[in-house]
Chains A and B, each alone.
Chain A
């Protein structure tokens, strides 16, 4: 947890406005899938910098290893084999937290301060405040947060917030040998993405897109996808949004309304008692007692 106490845009389950006097630039990581060679250097760098070692598992028959994100694997290279326009394609996706501008995890979280969004766009989990309910998993449209059973805490990519706080680029960026990964301000990265998109279109990838989903107000990790007409093939949802059920369930208005109604029952009881008094057995009824 870097010392960015003045750069907080949102704080989970919090009734006060976080201090936001400073306005830092929004950072972003651009993942140009067309340049990725699947070397997994980013995955190794993530393990290395964050000092994480996942359990050694078993080979699942594909190049993806470990088979899924976990509390110990915050960055995972996913490999998918697809037949596109009659040609065999090996689709590679660097999976991990996308750091949404409108983070569903933070909306769902009931623990004050367990999830922060810094003004630079990073969505960071503060595990010491996490209560282990797993609501953030329901809030996330990308299925990223992982609950560690041993300590009942949630873990995911921090976008190396500790490195960025001291002016370093994320570990995965530093290690990428093909410039598939770039890091900078969100506006610069969007410019770069459009430039790369133009190159891809010239090379015949007519369906290439910049995947910066508007359903979550854009993300601070975003992609150039050569086969942008089929994001599902890479393992990305087509139009990700925070589930309307989560929005209703965790909405401030619905919950404040619920609290208000419960409080009203208390007030109604007090007012009723003041107006009518207790319901007692009338005295005259006692006369006929045996």
Chain B
């Protein structure tokens, strides 16, 4: 792992670019999906060239998100394997959020980040499959009416879970100072790494935290 003075590389450039491409696709899908989810948000359709064009482009961007997310997941899944320290993190999550307790043995990702990662892996697949069943006019007519009804319910439910999950992801990234920068410029300080991800710091620096 490359280290440059006080800075440690946390996210290589390819990983960063894929992450933000996924994020842009997600924002697009989140806003257009919200417009179709509840009439309260239908005005958002004007950002996408009106309702019909939004409905046309939504599934295409959905495919783009799938094509971007899974290669991204392939880059980071090994670092998201569950460790005993993650269980400890989850047990102390509320204390951690109140800054009363700081877990000490976190690897590259903590338990919360791993839960987010492993919930997105199946949810994006579910959204994709249910979305194919709903996709007019090309795919939907080949599925039975009842399957399309189930797909509608599943797609909306999975999207809801994803929206709430990504909402938490956004706040956690903003709350944890330095983590947005790490995903933009790729690097974190030694102190940041030692404080937030000590086990990962030991691994990349070869030093004791």
Contacts and interface: CB of A to CB of B under 8 A. Distances in A.
Interface of A: 13-15, 108, 110-112, 129-135, 137-138, 143, 147, 149, 152, 243, 245-246, 248-249, 255-256, 258-259, 261-262, 265-266, 268-269, 272-273, 276, 278-282, 285-286, 289-290
Interface range, B side? 35 or more
Contact of B152 (A111, A135, A290): A135
B78 interface: no
Given A129-B51, A259-B38, A276-B97, A289 B148 contact: no
6 contacts: A108-B152, A112-B42, A131-B55, A262-B167, A273-B171, A285-B191
Interface string B74-101: 0000000000000000000000011100
Contacts of A272: 97, 171, 175
Interface in B124-165: 134, 136-137, 140-141, 145-146, 148-150, 152-153, 156, 160, 163-164
B163 A152 contact: no
B168 A265 contact: yes
B149 A289 contact: no
Interface of B: 6, 35-42, 45, 51-52, 54-56, 97-99, 134, 136-137, 140-141, 145-146, 148-150, 152-153, 156, 160, 163-164, 167-168, 170-171, 174-178, 189-192, 194-196
B6 A279 contact: no
Contacts of A281: 177-178, 189, 191-192, 195-196
A13 B149 contact: no
A261 B136 contact: no
Nearest to B58: A133
B177 to A, nearest CB: 5
A278 B148 contact: no
A103 to B, nearest CB: 16
A265 B175 CA distance: 14
Given A245-B146, A278-B174, 13 more contacts: A111-B51, A131-B45, A132-B56, A134-B137, A135-B152, A137-B140, A137-B148, A138-B145, A265-B164, A272-B175, A278-B176, A279-B99, A281-B192
Nearest to B149: A245
Contacts of A248: 153
A243 B56 contact: no
Contacts of B195: 281-282, 285
A70 B134 CA distance: 19
